[in-house]
Structure 1
């Protein structure tokens, strides 16, 4: 059985920055229009409790940095839903096929609930077919766009009960 360890890091810490750089590099290389993909490293203050958190996935003390992702507070949704957005969910190639994406998504949802979220939202691009499948299989439903992310083609939400 795979044992996963979650480690909070400032989103601007060197290790977090390296994972995000790998994520952005892969997205640019695989994006339908690489010239059109916009990258921006996240504002660290938005991923600092209680506004949010950034997490890195380790498998052991010697096997570190296999995946990353963050959750951050955004404006309230319809009917006063307290929304947290899941951002930059990335599993490095060496960690793929182990269920780390699903495990990390669940951990980010758990942390959002602990902050008081009643709904998780996220956006993705059609070219990320595995990500879209993960989100749908995890109970996310398609919603109208909640942001103007130029890289996104689909927006999702999930109640956090």
Structure 2
């Protein structure tokens, strides 16, 4: 998968995508949640995340306390050891990875802790959530990292034209 190509396309369409997403927020179609669900599923039939894993290479998830407890237990580590080894607190007070790419990303682009991965990882790229227009800023940003998000916005724009 040519991640650079998708990023270039997303950069070229940032203004259009921003306007489109803003229009959805102003006046969302009645069937938007159903439509986004269908398009999300269609995109992920086309895109195999393990061919990309750009999110795991460049975006660090926020860790909830439940995430930390679940992963530490899975790894048989004390909470403090897990946090000291893998996490830091950012300027917003959120717990994030000390470094990227994700330390649990294998060389095969598979997640070593997939079954217990953080909530943010499970939900990324958030294109299947209800009222997704509430996170327009995040969706727009994700088009630069995630080819599936770029395709999702393009397919949604075409469907609503």
What's the TM-score bracket when you normalise by the shorter of the two chains? under 0.3
Decide which structure has greater helix share.
2
Q: TM-score, normalised by structure 2?
A: 0.26
Q: Higher Cα Rg: structure 1 or 2? A: 2
Q: TM-score, normalised by structure 1?
A: 0.26
